[in-house]
């Protein structure tokens, strides 16, 4: 089992974004998983991203992209494929911005067909497409995962597991989901949750020990990202989250 630790969090200003880029390596992370606002200014100028941040290893290890699957949304996703290829991204993480209340089982199967096509397009750019399940998005309930991944073409779309979104969606047995979908999981967003709010890892109410055990049991290798959306200070979140992850996996610091 070889884990690579990434960090991800929203930033509200250019100064915050720059601090994120400047400090993740020194804080002990191997990569960043970028929110849309952190790479959007560079989408049509990938050379500018490389000029500013290309000296940092895995500064854009993953791009988080939200949107729809209409023609406009698909073209927006393709733009991210082109950008990701040029800056050396490995993973495009897709959050499907449609309310679960408006979705039927047949819709979920149709989305699986569309994303299978897009995942195969991503592979032509040397990228992987990973679905980020989400509270109040099409893949939300436990049965939705079966519907979606039973339909997805093998090898075309991976799964980003988000611990807090699972719990917020009413899925308390995160370990079961990890074991059941081990063949498609290609990324983790580790985030804590309590009283309706995202929390720094270790400060919320999620029982993480079974999650760590499941990840070890399935022999997962790849990116594990601290997805820090509590609104706290960048430096505080970086330090606490990495310490929590390393302790949870039994990694000596």
- DSSP-assigned letters across all residues of 16-77: HHHHHHHHTTTTT-SEEEE-HHHHGGGTT-HHHHHHHHTTSTTTTSEEEEEE-SSHHHHHHH
Distance between CA atoms of 125 and 120, rounded to whole angstroms? 9
Chain centre distance of CA 120: 19
Q: Report the first-to-last Cα separation within the chain, whole angstroms.
A: 17
Q: Tell me the three state secondary structure of residue 157.
A: strand
Specify the pLDDT at position 23: 96
Specify the pLDDT at position 252: 79
- The CATH number covering residue 7 comes to 3.20.20.150
C-beta of residue 74 within 8 angstroms of C-beta of residue 122: no
Specify the pLDDT at position 253: 66
Q: What pairs with residue 34 in β-bridges?
A: 63
Domain range spanning residue 132? 3-249
Please give the sequence-ordered ranges of beta strands (E in DSSP) within the chain, or none if there are none: 3-8, 31-34, 62-67, 91-96, 128-132, 157-162, 185-190, 192-194, 197-199, 222-227
The contacts of residue 51 (CB under 8 Å, 6+ apart) are none
The one-digit pLDDT tens for each residue of the chain (253 residues) are 699 999 999 999 999 999 999 999 999 999 999 999 999 999 999 999 999 999 999 999 999 999 999 999 999 999 999 999 999 999 999 999 999 999 999 999 999 999 999 999 999 999 999 999 999 999 999 999 999 999 999 999 999 999 999 999 999 999 999 999 999 999 999 999 999 999 999 999 999 999 999 999 999 999 999 999 999 899 999 999 999 999 999 997 6
Number of domains in the chain: 1
The contacts of residue 69 (CB under 8 Å, 6+ apart) are 96, 111, 114, 115
């Amino acid at each position: 089992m070889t884990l690579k630790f990434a960090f991800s969090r929203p930033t509200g200003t250019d100064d915050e974004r720059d601090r994120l880029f400047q400090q993740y390596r020194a804080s002990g992370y191997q990569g960043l998983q970028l929110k849309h606002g952190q790479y959007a200014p560079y989408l049509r100028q990938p050379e500018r991203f490389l000029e500013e941040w290309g000296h940092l290893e895995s500064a854009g290890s993953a791009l988080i992209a939200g949107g729809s699957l209409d023609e406009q949304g698909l073209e927006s996703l393709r733009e991210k494929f082109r950008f990701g290829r040029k800056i050396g991204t490995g993973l495009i993480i897709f959050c499907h911005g449609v309310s679960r209340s408006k979705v039927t089982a047949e819709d979920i199967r149709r989305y699986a067909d569309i994303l299978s096509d897009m995942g195969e397009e991503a592979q032509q750019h040397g990228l992987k497409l990973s679905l980020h399940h989400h509270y109040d998005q099409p893949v939300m309930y436990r049965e939705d995962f079966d519907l979606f991944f039973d339909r997805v073409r093998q090898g075309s779309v991976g799964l980003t597991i988000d611990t807090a979104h699972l719990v917020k969606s009413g899925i308390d047995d995160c370990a079961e989901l990890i074991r059941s979908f081990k063949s498609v999981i290609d990324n983790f967003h580790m985030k804590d949750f309590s009283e309706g709010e995202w929390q720094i890892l270790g400060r919320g109410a999620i029982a993480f020990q079974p999650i760590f055990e499941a990840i070890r049991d399935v022999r997962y290798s790849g990116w594990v990202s601290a997805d820090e959306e509590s609104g706290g200070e960048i430096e505080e979140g970086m330090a606490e989250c990495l310490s929590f992850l390393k302790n949870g996996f039994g990694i000596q610091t």
